[in-house]
Every structure is written in structure tokens, then in C-alpha cells.
Amino acid sequence: MKKIILVTSMLLILVSNLPAQATSGTGKLRGVVLAESTGEPLPGVTIKLYSIRARAYYKPFPRTDKEGKWKAFFVRGGDWYIDFSKPGYETKKISFNVNTRVGAKKPAVEIKLKEMTGPALESGLVKEIEKAAKLYNEGKFAEALVKFNDILQKHKDSNAVESVYKFTGNCYAALKDYDNAIAAYEKALKKFPGEVDLPVSIGNAYTNSGKPDRALEYFKRVPFEQLVNIDTLYNIGVFHYNNGNYAEAVKYFKRAVELNEEFAEGFYRLGMTYLALSENEKAVAILKKFMRLAPGSADYRTAKAIVDAFSKSS
């Protein structure tokens, strides 16, 4: 199964003006950010774009103008994680696929940010979280974890400190300490039961620690239409496939390739699942797409043998 990149929700992002050649391409991203409470445009929101394929950030990070609009040009095709961050508002993270094919639809990304209230705005706590988050963003996970644990101890009487458990969970998971990651996420989930990111993160941690049954318990808590991470969709699909629930597996694999038309592994799995359901025509059509996308894949020969076999028999 695929490893999952973990999500956060409140990180305060620092802007850099250094170019990132690894993320350059022919695509374009645009969008608008609004305040959830009023629907008004939010200026000064930092948009942090991370290319999954390139494993690099698009820099400089775009910022919204007075109309809440932002753009990013010459973006590489494929899947991206995008953070929308503004002090005083809860950060939102989404997955988004950039399709650079000629004629492909390029919809604007509309995001609404929720204003933080009460103790979550304690200035000292926010500044400390910002410093620890910077270490995490730099890949210094062990150092960030020390800082976040210090914050938990120092501000243990604060009602807002429970939000830090999400960050410690991310650090533990990045360090592949999945048991502690799950424990931290569970503490955050008790405080924020409505946050989609948390059960997904717990499910991802269980997946990475080889406990797919437990992972599925948490993935099921998230409405299907809110699952936008193709790796999560893929993992759930694999779980259903391995347990013989082929109709359910199709649903998740199909959603994954709809979100990313270049997700070769998703097409292969979808084709093999259709084959298991004896929907041979669909299987052949999907496996042909896989073969076009990944001619160098180790699964290419298997796909070709299946396509050839059913082409000869038809």
C-alpha cells in the first residue's frame, strides 16, 4: 500500500522568495478565499502549494489580493496539497489535481476559512506554535516534536492547547512512530470531533502500521464525498479488494482516478477489480489507459496479457 502524506490544520506558514525549479510546469492554478462567517473576500491569505510528485513547494507562496483572489502560474501537473493560512483563521488543507492536458477543465478553487475565537487566539501560544510549525515545515520533525511537547507542558491549563495534539501527531507520524501518532490524534479528535482531517490521519497511521481493519473504522467516519486524497481513496479501495468487496473497491478506485487522470496505479487496480467482477469490457478499457500511462510499470505485462486475451476472445 502507499504511504500517506499527513495533514495539518492551523500551521502558520512563512513565505520564502526562493525559486523551486522542481515544481515548474505548464499548468495554472487560481482561486478565491472567503470568510466562512460572512462570505466576504479574505485578503492576505498565504497559499502554500506542495507538489506530491516533485516533493517540493511552489515558491514564492501566492497571497490573496483585496478581492480574495490568487493565482499560480507555470505549475507542474499532478497532485498537490494546498494549505490556506491567515493569522486569526483556522488553516484549511485540501488535495487538488492539476491537469495540464489540452482542453482540460481548470476550475477555480473556492475556499472558506473559519475565524478562530476565544482562547485559540492567545498570542503567546500562537507564536510558539508558529515557531514549532516552522521546524516541521523544514523537515526537522524531531526538533518540532520537542517544541510541541514543550508547548503542551507549558500551556497545559489552556483550553486552546488541545489543538497542539494534531501537530504532535503529525510529527510522530513523520517519524514513523504510529502508536504515539494515533494517541495524539485521538486526543485532538475528542476536542474537535467534526474535523475531517483527524479521522483520515488516524486511518492513515493505522494503514502505515499494517492495521487496515482499524484504518477502515476511521475512514468510514468521513463522508465519501469529502474524501479528496487519492492515496486515502486508494488504500480504502485496496482494503475492500483484499477482502473480496469488489463493488466497494470500484467506488474508491474510480473516485481516485477521477480526481487524477494520470494516476496509473489507480487505473491498474480499477481494471483488475472490474476483472474480478467479470466486467471484462470495462476491465480492458481501463487497463488500456493504465498501459498508456505507465509503459514502464512492473504491472504492464500483466495488463497486456489480460487485454490481449480478451481482445482475441471477442
CATH number, domain containing residue 27:
2.60.40.10
Highest averaged pLDDT of the listed ranges 15-29, 97-111, 219-233: 219-233
Q: Is the pLDDT of residue 99 over 80?
A: no
CATH of the domain at 248: 1.25.40.10
Residue 227: CB atoms within 10 A of its CB come to 19
Q: How many CB atoms lie within 10 A of CB 168?
A: 24
Domain match, 126 and 198 both: yes
Of the two residues 253 and 159, the one the predictor is more confident about is: 253
pLDDT in tens, 11-36: 322 222 223 334 567 788 899 999 98
Domain housing 245 = 224-313
Q: What is the pTM of this model?
A: 0.56
Boundary (domain end) residue, out of 168, 186, 211: 211
The model's pLDDT over 63-94, given as tens digits with 9 standing for 90+, comes to 999 999 999 988 888 778 888 888 778 778 78
Of residues 314 and 231, which shows the higher confidence score? 231
The answer to whether position 8 is within a domain reads no
Determine the pLDDT at residue 3.
36
Number of domains in the chain: 3
How large is the average pLDDT for residues 197-217? Answer: 88
Q: Which of 97, 113, 129 is the last residue of a domain?
A: 113
Whether residue 216 is contained in a domain is answered as no
What is the spatial distance between Cα 206 and Cα 173, in angstroms, rounded to a whole number?
10
Q: Which of 181, 211, 241 is the last residue of a domain?
A: 211
Distances (CA, A) of 294 to 93, 168, 301, 303: 29, 37, 11, 11
In a domain, 253, yes or no: yes
C-alpha cell, 48: 502554500
Confidence of residue 5 (pLDDT cuts 50, 70, 90): very low
Amino acid, single-letter form, for residue 241: Y
Angle at 21 between CA 20 and CA 22, to 5 degrees: 95
207 and 237 inside one domain: no
Query: What is 146-178 written as a DSSP string?
Result: HHHHHHHHHTTT-TTGGGHHHHHHHHHHHTT-H
171 and 101 in a common domain = no
Q: What is the pLDDT of residue 266?
A: 93
Q: In this predicted model, which residue has the larger pLDDT, 175 or 3? A: 175
Answer yes or no: do 155 and 168 share one domain.
Answer: yes
In a domain, residue 229? The reply is: yes
List, for residues 137-150, the tens digit of each pLDDT value: 788 999 999 999 99
92-98: strand order across its sheet: 56-58, 46-51, 78-85, 92-98
* Exposed e or buried b per residue across 256-281, where buried means at least 16 C-beta atoms within 10 angstroms of its C-beta: bbebbebbbbbbbbbbbbbbeeebee
Domain assignment of residue 55, yes or no: yes
What mean pLDDT is reported for the chain?
82
16 occurs within a structural domain = no
Given this model, what pLDDT does residue 31 score? 92
